[in-house]
Each structure stands twice: as structure tokens, then as C-alpha cells.
């Protein structure tokens, strides 16, 4: 999906583009309001729009966008006053984020807004500093992508979709058949060990994957 980013700060454009590209979005950039309006011809699926721009204000751009398109808009603003936020929402923004912001949170907000207008999109799983994106099979921890094998990702996704539910080794085997699983239940323990290492999860005091002795595993993050 295409995301149009409108901001006159090159560093913000660079960082946001990197995070969105890592999440498999196609990124279109504009550094002012007039370029943003022209970029509509590329039919973006969502616009990330800064409120403070050098030519047209973000509010003016938002108004003009709404005259041409129903594309979802997330407004970035350094102004946290309630009146400014309400004004942005009244002229057509779908959501807002106050600067400085976490790129990870922006990616999550984009996913939320896109799912609102297109409910068939899969939902990202968010736990503390951990983001699991089923649609792209990506995992981010503290805003850094974690490289998982197909089996490790399937295990993590299975556990995280049902927090606190106990999964036996046999149930986990059933979930990952077809992912080159090597066929005996204790191999699950090796995959869990590798997964914990990649997530920085101390097995003696885990944050994410809990061992239920004699039974199996559960995802324990609150």
C-alpha cells in the first residue's frame, strides 16, 4: 500500500520512510503542501501530514485534500493543545500524532486507520515494545526488526494471538506443520529457546514466552 508523507523536515522524512519501507509500504514523499496535492495523482492509500508546512498550512492542505479525495489522513503536529487537535479532526483528519513521536507508534497508527477503512487487513499484535505484523510476517522489538525463521514466527504468532492460553507441545506442532518442522515434540523446546534469545527473553524471568512445566508454553505479556 502507498503512504504519502508530507513534512518539511528531511530527517523526519528519512526516518519515517525507513520504518514504513521495513513494514512493506511503498512511500511517496512531499516536503510542502503544493507537492502533497500534486502527489494525489499517485493515489496514496493514506497521507501522513505535518501541520506546520512552509507554504500551505497542514490544515489548508487537509481541507483541499478532502475536496478531492477521501484518503485517510494522519496529522502530525507539534501543537498539543486540544483546540488545534480538534480543528484538525474537524477539517477531515482521521487521526493525529503529537511531535516528537515514536516511528513505531506511527506505523501502528497507520495500520489501525487502514484497517478501519479496509477491515480485511490483518491486525498487528502489539505488546509493550514488541510488534508482530502477520500480514508481512515481521517482528519489531524496541523499533528494531527481529529476523525470525518461518517456524519461529509461526510459533510466536500462535502464542501471541491468544495471550495466557496454554499450548501443549503437540498443539504447537500442529500449528507449524508445513514449516519444515523436524517432527518430534521436544524440538519445540529448541525453537522456543532460539526465539527467546532473539527476543532477549530471560527464560528464568521471561517477559513474553512463559514455560508451564510439564505442560507446554503460553504468551504471558500483559
Average pLDDT of the residues in 128-144 = 85
Report the chain's mean pLDDT, rounded to a whole number: 85
pLDDT at 173: 84
CA quadruple 164, 170, 175, 178: dihedral, nearest 10: 160
**119 or 187: which leads in pLDDT:** 187
Burial class (CB in 10 A: 0-12, 13-18, 19+), 46: buried
Backbone angles phi, psi at 15, to 5 degrees: -70, -50
| Pair 81, 60: CB distance under 8 Å | no
pLDDT at 81: 64
In this prediction, residue 124 has a pLDDT band, given cuts at 50, 70 and 90, of confident
Q: How far is CA 55 from the centre of its chain?
A: 31
What's the count of helices (H) and strands (E) in the chain, helices before strands?
8, 12
pLDDT at 79: 67
Contacts of 43 (CB under 8 A, 6+ apart): 2
* Domain 125-219 annotated CATH 1.10.10.10: yes
In this prediction, residue 113 has a pLDDT band, given cuts at 50, 70 and 90, of confident
- CATH class for the region spanning 2-117: alpha beta
Distance between CA atoms of residues 98 and 4, nearest Å? 18
The number of C-alpha atoms within 13 Å of 132 and in the hemisphere containing its C-beta is 18
pLDDT at 222: 46
The pTM of the whole model exceeds 0.85:
no
Q: For the beta carbon of residue 18, count every other beta carbon within 10 angstroms.
A: 12
Among 45-49, 113-117, 205-209, whose mean pLDDT is lowest? 113-117
- Tens of pLDDT, residue by residue over 179-193, are 445 555 677 888 889
Average pLDDT of the residues in 15-41 = 91
pLDDT at 36: 92
Burial class (CB in 10 A: 0-12, 13-18, 19+), 139: buried
Residue boundaries of the structural domains of the chain: 2-117, 125-219
Average pLDDT of the residues in 169-180 = 74
Q: For the beta carbon of residue 153, count every other beta carbon within 10 angstroms.
A: 21
Amino acid at each position: 500500500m502507498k503512504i504519502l508523507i508530507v513534512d518539511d523536515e528531511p530527517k523526519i522524512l528519512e526516518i519515517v520512510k525507513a520504518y514504513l519501507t521495513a513494514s512493506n509500504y511503498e512511500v511517496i514523499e512531499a516536503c510542502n503542501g503544493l507537492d502533497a496535492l500534486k502527489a494525489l495523482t499517485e493515489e496514496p492509500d493514506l497521507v501522513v501530514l505535518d501541520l506546520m508546512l512552509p507554504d500551505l498550512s497542514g490544515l489548508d492542505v487537509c481541507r483541499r485534500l478532502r475536496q478531492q479525495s477521501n484518503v485517510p489522513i494522519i496529522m502530525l503536529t507539534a501543537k498539543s493543545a486540544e483546540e488545534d487537535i480538534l480543528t484538525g479532526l474537524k477539517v477531515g483528519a482521521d487521526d493525529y500524532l503529537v511531535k516528537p513521536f515514536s516511528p513505531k507508534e506511527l506505523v501502528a497508527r497507520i495500520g489501525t486507520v487502514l484497517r478501519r477503512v479496509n477491515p480485511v487487513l490483518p491486525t498487528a499484535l502489539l505488546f509493550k515494545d514488541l510488534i508482530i505484523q502477520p500480514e508481512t510476517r515481521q517482528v519489531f522489538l524496541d523499533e528494531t526488526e527481529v529476523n525470525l525463521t518461518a517456524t519461529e514466527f509461526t510459533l510466536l504468532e500462535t502464542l501471541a494471538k491468544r495471550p495466557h492460553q496454554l499450548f501443549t507441545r503437540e498443539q504447537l506442532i500442529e500449528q507449524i506443520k508445513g514449516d519444515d518442522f523436524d517432527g518430534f515434540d521436544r524440538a519445540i523446546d529448541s525453537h522456543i529457546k532460539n526465539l527467546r534469545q532473539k527476543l532477549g527473553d530471560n527464560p528464568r524471568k521471561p517477559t513474553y514466552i512463559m514455560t508451564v512445566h510439564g505442560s507446554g508454553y503460553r504468551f504471558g505479556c500483559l
